[in-house]
């Protein structure tokens, strides 16, 4: 690959899910291709450019933002924009906990009620494994079932109103994507 990849995750749960996908070699890239060899936890363009773009690179950076809001803007200052080949935003709407709901076969039940996926998971699914938004809990849960995570991401890509290329499916290896 001719570019560095920067994965910007908005929260701990997104970070954990991305780490599972990378650690299990489910992405079209490997950890060594990532800027800093890690998922970066920030939503702010200013923080990202100040912390990660203040030095020279041997190639451009393809940036993927994993967020749940369509409204967030990400505007890099001019000198930093030249270091970026492309910025892609991947959505996990309404929030990343929707993956638990899909994995548990409860999407229809969730869709019939009003509320956030995180509340539905806590109250209805009663997944008994701690804080469903914390990195260790999310990582451990999905790390034990990476194939289910991939299938859940593919299923999410099929049922969301967002284009599939604007979901986490975009990061999966081609052979895994073909299973949809």
Distance of alpha carbon 116 from alpha carbon 108, whole angstroms: 14
Question: Per residue in 36-72, pLDDT tens?
Answer: 999 999 989 999 999 999 988 999 999 999 999 888 8
Supply the DSSP string of 98-153, one letter for each residue: HHHHHHTT-HHHHHTS-S-HHHHIIIII---SS-TTSHHHHHHHHHT-HHHHHHHH
Categorize the per-residue pLDDT at 180 as very low, low, confident or very high, splitting at 50, 70 and 90. very low
Provide the H-helix boundaries in 24-97: 45-52, 78-81
* Residue ranges of domains in the chain: 4-96+135-177
Question: Per residue in 129-171, pLDDT tens?
Answer: 668 889 999 999 999 999 999 999 999 999 999 999 999 999 9
Distance of alpha carbon 69 from alpha carbon 35, whole angstroms: 24
Question: Cβ neighbours of residue 165 under 8 Å, at least 6 residues apart?
Answer: none
Q: What angle do CA 176, 177, 179 make, to 5 degrees?
A: 70
Question: Per residue in 79-128, pLDDT tens?
Answer: 999 999 999 999 999 999 999 999 999 999 999 988 899 889 888 877 66
């Amino acid at each position: 690959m001719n570019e560095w990849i920067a994965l910007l995750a908005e929260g701990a749960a997104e970070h954990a899910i991305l780490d599972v996908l990378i650690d299990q070699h489910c992405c079209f890239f490997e950890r060594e291709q990532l800027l800093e060899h890690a998922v970066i936890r920030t939503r702010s363009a200013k923080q990202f450019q100040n912390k990660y773009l203040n030095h020279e690179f041997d190639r451009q950076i393809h940036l993927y933002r994993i967020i749940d809001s369509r409204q967030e803007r990400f505007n890099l200052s001019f000198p930093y924009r030249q270091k970026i080949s492309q910025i892609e935003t991947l959505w996990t709407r309404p929030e990343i906990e929707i993956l638990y709901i899909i994995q548990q076969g409860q999407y229809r039940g969730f869709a019939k009620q009003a509320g956030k996926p995180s509340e539905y998971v806590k109250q209805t699914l009663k997944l008994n494994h701690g804080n469903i938004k914390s990195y260790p809990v999310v990582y451990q849960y999905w790390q034990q079932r990476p194939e289910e995570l991939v299938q859940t991401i593919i299923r999410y890509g099929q049922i969301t109103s967002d284009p599939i290329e604007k979901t986490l499916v975009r990061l999966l290896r081609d052979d895994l994507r073909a299973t949809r």
